[in-house]
Every structure is written in structure tokens, then in C-alpha cells.
Amino acid sequence: MTNQEKYKIAFRMTSRASTGLSFIEDYLMEHFTTDSAYPRNFYILLSYNAELILKSRVVMMGNFIDKDEVDKKLKSLSHDILKISKALGDDELMRLGIKEITQNGNQYKITTIDGRGTIIEDFADIRYDFIDGKVRTIDDKEHERVKEYIDTLFTILVNAKKENERTSLSR
């Protein structure tokens, strides 16, 4: 599989992540408080889009024979942000502006090299939290936290797009 073929896949992944993050951002610009019904949906989208951004680099860095092999690799990483980050490695994370990714229970903390932190919920946990009867409480800072998370993810997204393009041009 050529770098250009991988780039087409990675480009679609980052484009999808961009529209997902923009969707949340647009909503928050129109609504100045976070209704208790919305945060779960925001966190599902944040998790999904963070995963797409990171996995776009997995696609570009891998040596794949065909799309089936790409699909197999991405599925093997599941929705585990920590597993995806380990597949990328510290040097690649740094190129994305990420100092480290840690896991605390059902959340991942992405710390950027400029000191910002973003909390990403585990994708499976946030989708199926009703099984354990979890109720997510929100406070008056939820709205601002989500906006900060989006800003941080947009910065990582821009870095991923640049790296994907750079990699697509290499042999």
C-alpha cells in the first residue's frame, strides 16, 4: 500500500474528526449552558474523534499490504486510547504535541507539551454506562471544560494533518 493510498484513508479520518469537533463547538457557541442531557453525547463524540485523530497516524506509520490489513490493525487497537498511544510511541506523540497519555479508571488524560490537559472518556464505558447505572453529574464549569477539550483536540488534529501530509510525501 502506498503512502498516497494510506493518506486518503487518514485524510478521511481527520476530516471526520474535524467535523465532529466542529459540531460540538458550534453547539456550544449557540448554547451558553450545558443542559444535563448533552454532556454524555459530547463525551462520546470527543472520545470517538480523539481516537480517529490518533488512529490516522497509525495508518500513516504502518506498513500495510491493503485496506483489509489497515482495517484489521485499527480494529485490533479497539477504542483503547492508551493502546493506540503505545502503538504510536513517545516520539510520534510529541510530533502531535502530546507529552503523555495516561489512564485513570475509565478516563484518559491527554497532556500536551504546552501543559494543557484534556480528559477523554473511554468510548465503550461512556456508551454503555447505563449497564452499571452510572449517572454523570455536571457542574457550572462543564461548558467551559468541553470547549477547552475541543481547543486542545483541534491543536492535536492540526498537527496530525501536517504529519499525515508530510508522511504522504515521503517514500
> So what's the pLDDT on residue 171?
67
How far is residue 120's CA from residue 152's CA, in Å, rounded to a whole number?
Answer: 11
- Report CA 92 to chain centroid distance, whole Å: 15
Rounded-to-10 torsion of CA 36, 157, 109, 27: -10
pLDDT value at 68 more than 90: yes
Q: Is the pLDDT of residue 38 over 80?
A: no
The residue assigned the cell 502503538 is 87
The total number of structural domains that make up the chain:
1
Q: Which residue has the higher pLDDT, 142 or 111?
A: 111
Q: What is residue 60's predicted lDDT score, i.e. its pLDDT?
A: 98
- Structure confidence at residue 135 (pLDDT): 72
Quick one: average pLDDT of 29-33? Answer: 77
Collapsed DSSP state (helix, strand, coil) of residue 128: coil
Predicted confidence at residue 130, as pLDDT, reads: 76
- Give the pLDDT score at 34: 61
Q: Which three cell numbers stand for residue 120?
A: 477523554
Q: What is the pLDDT of residues 76-86, one digit of tens each?
A: 999 999 999 99
Distance CA 133, CA 119 (A): 21
Report whether pLDDT(35) > 70: no
Please classify residue 105 by burial: count the beta carbons closer than 10 Å to its beta carbon, then call 0-12 exposed, 13-18 middle and 19+ buried: exposed
Cell numbers at residue 52, please? Answer: 480517529
Task: Say what the pLDDT of residue 138 is.
Answer: 75
If you average pLDDT over every residue of the chain, what do you get? 92
Residue 84 to residue 78: CA distance in whole angstroms: 8
Catalogue the E-assigned strands of the chain.
Answer: 98-104, 107-112, 117-121
Q: Is the pLDDT of residue 128 over 80?
A: yes
Predicted confidence band of residue 107 (pLDDT cuts 50, 70, 90): very high
Tell me which residue range forms the domain holding 91. 3-169
For residues 140 and 114, the model is more confident at: 114
